[in-house]
Structure 1
């Protein structure tokens, strides 16, 4: 039930085949690391917009914005690129990048406009760098330049057919990104996911 405040974000689901490829790359990063918090393979996704804590009224407004954003957009594909990172406080966030996609950036811009129109968020203050996070708080045991030499899957295509509203929740101490509702592209009606489908 949606009677309480929850933590949410908007993203794109990934096919199992892509998650498997990400898992293989993640293992290479683990071998090059002394420590870190690595993404559970079930949680692999492409973040479009982090929202944070919302109440039931705000959730409804977000869903309205998502429905409008996806009303006329048709499905498209994106492709994976090389390893990338954000470096903060002597630790790494390591990710697999996404090749430049005009359509993906258009969806991001429209999504932001719709969210602002519904007064559900403030303007995004960070640049949109599409990426698939492999791990956070990583301390490497080798130079970054050496890690970048690891062979990667080439030009893995990812279908983008919908935006998904996710809930970030702890289940028995484990972080779970639980899909709440899918909003398919190309004029399809949003589909709220049943509890049976979302239970981890």
Structure 2
């Protein structure tokens, strides 16, 4: 059974800048730059016939390229931080693309995504990092706003793991 999700790739030059944020936080498992992405829709573990249906259905999406804006670093997890992320501005084109994918995938009988769409790039997964250490880490890291043009989205697969890759590009869906 493949574990699938859709996402936007991060351009290599921007991934290199994000990689400069690594280090200085105990309990962080840093994600390989090749695996940086913005998840649009986590699909999960599905059988091969359903995976083929998903791949075919996504081919119906027609969008124009759009600008994606990364705006600073943050974390997920509240009192128990679980990830360091680069925040992504939820622009109209990005939110509309995610919503269209959600609608199409639900048509196949795949359950809705229970989490609210919060676009981001995961930089590190955290295990046992105290909140104060995460706050200190973020206070010393300056990451200014960066933009790139999304000209396609990707259907990725991953192995069942604790997250962070490796991810395999299964299909590419160009915009335009």
SS at match of 1:100: coil
In structure 1, the partner of 2:46 is 54
**For this pair of structures, how many residues does the alignment match?**
172
Report whether the alignment pairs 1:128 with 2:106.
no
Counterpart among 3, 16, 29 of residue 37 in structure 1: 29
Greater fraction of residues in strand:
1
Alignment partners' CA distance in 2, 1:147 and 1:112: 34
C-alpha RMSD of the superposition? 2.1
**Deviation of 1:142 (Å):** 4.6
Structure 1: give runs of 5+ residues left out of the alignment. Answer: 187-200
TM-score, scaled to structure 2: 0.88
Q: Which ranges of structure 2 fall in alignment gaps of 5 or more residues?
A: none
Name the structure, 1 or 2, with higher relative contact order (CA <8 Å, separation 6+): 2
Larger CA deviation: 99-108 vs 60-69 = 60-69
8 Å contact from structure 2 (residues 72, 143) kept in 1 = no
Q: TM-score, normalised by structure 1?
A: 0.78
Contact 2:5 2:156 survives alignment (8 Å): yes
Structure with greater Cα Rg: 1
Equivalences for 1:50-129 in 2 at 5 Å? 50-69=42-61, 71=62, 73-87=63-77, 90-119=80-109, 121-129=110-118
Match of 1:15 among 8, 11, 14: 11
